[in-house]
Chain A
């Protein structure tokens, strides 16, 4: 696929089909780690990193190992194991060789193993029939969309934490309602791709 196709995939993953706000993947970290801008940024960068790495590993495994041997049904087990092992290895490698990066991302890495957005993006790439380059772009775009949602939402959280909602709505309910408004605002991106690229 040409460059234009890759840009379309990237933009639609970031804005139109935002993983958190449109497809409800990765809601746990979205609600749990978005209280402060610092931790929201760290978590999102770690997610982008792991999404790219796990797509780069799982796509060849599916296409060159599982499918030719008629073991496509093992996808779920293999993918979750590969992602878990990969996250562990990356953590060990960073700890040993890249201390500065480890101190920035290290705490977030174990959280990501059970993040449904990472497993989701690897499976979605296979289901949509993307090639290797398209898969990587889609993974990067999805991670970037997660980053965008997290950073915007941490700003919103800063205000809702200070406000005084009705007693029953305090805490999680009011957070969910503000997430709804943010999600609604992302509907403004509907049709952006069609207008930009004239499809």
Chain B
């Protein structure tokens, strides 16, 4: 696999949200406003970059049996750093992200990439993977937030959109709108990938990236759906 594909696979082919179905909670919660979506995406990208590089460097040091707790501590450290930076330099974003900022710790994208990629690959490849996955996450959040904010609120990045502002569908900015738009986006990705003759097999990959996939398999043997 070429180096470039480590970076670009996160955008579409292995998009962490729409194809791997990781990190659904922040995707649904933060995608009501385009500006906070970008903030969330960049914060998660920074944490992902830090944790992927650190885990890749330490992959021969961390004992296999206690790797998950070690990863969690590393990730929590990076999250705390990002939390303090955001609080210091962009307090409005800090307030907009609220509880979801510390919850980046339990975002499955980060632990999932540590488990699936960083502990098997070198530093350079892991850094590229982190940037690609992070940007894929940011991009998806931005697309969802654009749809929800422009149709639901009639604004985008705080600017009013002429016709939509007077005819907004406010339910889209509320919780049900998040579920509907997310479902439709995944269906769209399914449709496109089928039309191109590639079966992305969303059912099969959803759980594989989750760190608790092994335990989950005990509950529902044979099903791999997210």
| Residues in chain A within 8 A of chain B (CB atoms) | 21-28, 31-33, 35-36, 39, 42-43, 73-77, 80-81, 84, 107-108, 110-111, 113-116, 119-120, 123-124, 127, 166-169, 171-177, 179-181, 183-184, 187
Contacts and interface: CB of A to CB of B under 8 A. Distances in A.
B73 A81 contact: yes
Nearest to A186: B175
A51 B191 CA distance: 39
B171 interface: yes
B186 A77 contact: no
A179 B186 CA distance: 14
Given A119-B105, A171-B203, A184 B183 contact: no
B99 A74 contact: no
A171 B203 CA distance: 7
22 contacts: A24-B24, A24-B26, A24-B175, A24-B178, A25-B29, A26-B25, A31-B226, A76-B76, A76-B83, A84-B69, A107-B215, A120-B99, A168-B187, A172-B186, A172-B203, A173-B186, A175-B183, A176-B179, A176-B180, A180-B175, A180-B176, A181-B176
Contact of A173 (B84, B176, B184, B223): B184
A28 B210 contact: yes
B28 A27 contact: yes
Interface of B: 21, 24-26, 28-29, 69, 72-73, 76-77, 79-80, 83-84, 98-99, 102-103, 105-108, 111, 171, 174-180, 182-184, 186-188, 190-191, 194, 202-203, 206-207, 210-212, 215-216, 218-220, 223, 225-226
A75 B76 CA distance: 10
A173 B21 CA distance: 11
B85 to A, nearest CB: 12
Given A110-B215, A114-B108, A176-B182, A24 B28 contact: yes
A174 B84 CA distance: 39
Query: Is chain B's interface secondary structure helix, strand, loop, or mixed overall?
Result: helix
Contacts of A108: 215, 219
Contact of B225 (A24, A84, A166, A172): A172
Contact of A111 (B179, B202, B215): B215
B215 A177 contact: no
Contact of A176 (B108, B186, B191): B186
Given A31-B226, A119-B103, A177-B179, A114 B212 contact: yes
Given A23-B29, A110-B215, A168-B190, A32 B226 contact: yes
B69 A28 contact: no
Contact of A171 (B24, B184, B225): B225
B24 to A, nearest CB: 5
Closest 8 CB pairs of A and B: A176-B183, A180-B179, A173-B187, A24-B29, A168-B191, A77-B76, A184-B176, A173-B183
B179 A179 contact: yes
B40 to A, nearest CB: 12
A171 B98 CA distance: 31
A87 B169 CA distance: 43
A76 B73 CA distance: 10
A167 B77 contact: no
A77 B80 contact: yes
Given A76-B102, A168-B194, A177-B180, A184 B171 contact: yes
**Most B Cβ at <10 Å: residue of A27, A167, A184, A187:** A27
Contacts of B178: 24, 180
Contacts of B108: 28, 114
A33 B171 contact: no
B69 A76 contact: no
A173 B76 contact: no
B220 A33 contact: yes
Nearest to B194: A168
B105 to A, nearest CB: 5
